[in-house]
Amino acid sequence: MPNAKLLIANWKMELSATESRALAADLAGRTVGLGLGSLTVAVCPSFEALAPVAEALRGSDLLLGAQDVFWEGSGAFTGEVSPDGLKELGCRLCLVGHSERRRVMGETDEMVGLKATALLKVGMMPVICVGETAEERESGRRDETVVRQLRAALSGLPSSSAEESPAVTVAYEPVWAIGGGKPVDPDGAAEACRLIRDELSGIDGRLGVSFRVIYGGSVDVDNLESFLSRPEIDGALVGSASLSADGFLSLAKIASVLSPRI
Ligand code: PGA
């Protein structure tokens, strides 16, 4: 049985708190009665917008996510945000290791691993972003990069607590495909997602973790179906095309049709 699909909006630092709240309220209102079926839809606003967006989403089926987190629970870490702090605001998931953070903020594989583990410990789903740069791709190092990032991110996975299997999402986001209107061809995306699934299959049985593998990078209404119709791809992480209610709802409609019936 294929996994239910997952559609995640990454609003990056594109919207103010006021704009984020207005967009969230619009989405929340317009998804009522839309019949998303088994599709899960989440939005990840910037930190300052989390509280107003949580308020706007109350009572809707849309989940709240954050774009980053720190791995400690509390302490003298000026400027950082804890997993429990995010959970208290209503976040159910959190992106980790987005390529913009790796590139601009110097986030390392090890830091991404600490963040993913910290989220799982408080019961939040990490959305672990992996993907090669253009240079790594051109020199034939796509697989090596993706596997290295993935192994580091999962190195601290807590062993299964038996009652509830923790959920982890891995987003394959080739750096060169992000924000440029130049997505990977769907065969290439499916191939990389298959590689990720193969890598995860050992962990899955051993620790009882449930995984989903999604694609991100220049996803839009014209190409979403070509990604989601692949059995290897359980969803999409969307940046630019998630910034308008009309655009994101169109994506949600396409994804809900492609998500298995429950
Ligand atoms: P994009 O961004 O859809 O604008 O390419 C995706 C992402 O960075 O997560």
Q: Please, what is the angle between helix 17-31 and helix 245-258, to 10°?
A: 40
Q: Over pLDDT 70: what percentage of the chain?
A: 94
Cα-to-chain-centroid distance, residue 118: 16
pLDDT band (50, 70, 90) for residue 160: low
Looking at the CA of residue 241, tell me the nearest atom of ligand 1: 3
CA distances from 90 to 85, 86, 217 (A): 9, 7, 27
Q: Residue 135's pLDDT is what?
A: 95
Residue 23 has pLDDT above 60, yes or no: yes
To the nearest 5 percent, what fractions of the chain are helix, strand and coil?
A: 45, 15, 40
CB of 119 closer than 6 angstroms to any ligand 1 atom = no
pLDDT at 202 over 90: no
CA of 178 to the centre of ligand 1 (A): 5
- Asked whether 52 lines ligand 1 (CB < 6 A), one says no
Closest-CA residue, ligand 1 atom 7, reads: 239
Does residue 247's CB lie within 6 angstroms of at least one atom of ligand 1? no
Q: What pLDDT, on a 0 to 100 scale, did the predictor assign at position 141? A: 97
Instruction: Determine whether the shortest distance from the Cβ of 136 to ligand 1 is under 6 A.
Output: no
Tell me how far CA of residue 185 lies from CA of 177, 190, 196, in angstroms: 10, 9, 17
Query: What is the average per-residue pLDDT within 134-150?
Result: 96
Q: Is the CB of 173 under 6 A from ligand 1?
A: yes
Q: Once rounded to an integer, what is the mean pLDDT over residues 156-162?
A: 66
pLDDT tens track for 69-111:
999 999 999 999 999 999 999 999 999 999 999 999 999 999 9
Predicted confidence (pLDDT) per residue in 50-66, tens digit: 999 999 999 999 999 99
Question: Average pLDDT for residues 199-226, to the nearest whole number?
Answer: 89
Residue 44 Cα to ligand 1 middle (Å): 12
Rounded Cα distance, 201 and 211, in Å: 9
- Residue whose CA is closest, atom 3 of ligand 1? 239
What's the gap in Å between 173 CA and the centre of ligand 1?
8
Active site residue 138: no
More confident residue, 259 or 262: 259
For 210, list phi and psi in degrees, rounded to 5: -100, 130
How confident is residue 32, by pLDDT bands cut at 50, 70 and 90? confident
Residue nearest to atom 9 of ligand 1 (CA): 239
Q: Which protein residue has the closest C-alpha to ligand 1 atom 6?
A: 239
pLDDT at position 162 over 60:
no
Is ligand 1 within 6 A of the CB of residue 219?
yes
Active site residue 48: no
Instruction: Give the chain's mean pLDDT.
Output: 93
Mean pLDDT over residues 35-41, rounded? 91
Check pLDDT > 90 for residue 2: no
